[in-house]
Amino acid sequence: NLTEHNGGTIPPTTRLHMAALGDTIGTATMRVPIVEGLGVIHQWASLVKTFAGLEGVSVHEVEVPVWTIDGLGLDDLTAIKIDAEGNEIEVLNGALRTIERCRPIVSCECEEHHREGVTWYIPGFMRALSYDAWFWYQERFWPAAALDRRTMQVASPGGMPESDPYIQTFLFIPRESDDLRYRLAQFGPFWPPG
């Protein structure tokens, strides 16, 4: 029961929407980079980044509708995956009521080269909602406090990861979800234990 879409397949329970997510409903300018020799890089499109000063990069701008997760009126949301190229803070602010009501697990990309301070701000934002922050490294889950930004988030001038490891995705688990932590521990232990 899969539906064809742009050469791929999606399950019938999935609906695609041509909209960006943010903290207010409206419209915004999305910038899509065009890299010399590579062409359009859709996955780098951003509402926040300008791509100014990057050699060999031009930008196509398009006005897009912006929705909020709260505006979707979801009552049974179990997971949120956010990779918004620097706009993650706005997506989370626009999901605050839904997160408080549904208590989903949240996977969120946080990269200092997209937006300075984000690896501090987002874990703090989620901690205020009684979530614990983790990242995956060396076959185990580490608390976000163990992130060494000087060695684990060194991006190349072109924006591609350079450090090894390059930690960019964080997992936020509601503190009351001991069962979820137990199930995730089957993939690798949490460190420190507890």
For residue 140, report the phi and psi dihedrals to the nearest 5 degrees.
-155, 160
pLDDT tens readout for residues 27-55: 999 999 999 999 999 999 999 999 988 88
pTM of the entire predicted model: 0.88
Assign 192 a pLDDT band (cuts: 50, 70, 90). Answer: low
Query: Residue 31 corresponds to which tokens in the numbers above?
Result: 């910038």
CA–chain centroid gap for 79, Å, is 12
Maximum C-alpha span of the chain: 49
Contacts of 161 (CB under 8 A, 6+ apart): 155, 168
Going 56 to 88 to 115 to 145, the CA torsion angle's sign is: negative
Q: Are 47 and 28 in contact (CB under 8 A)?
A: yes
For residue 155, report the phi and psi dihedrals to the nearest 5 degrees.
-95, 150
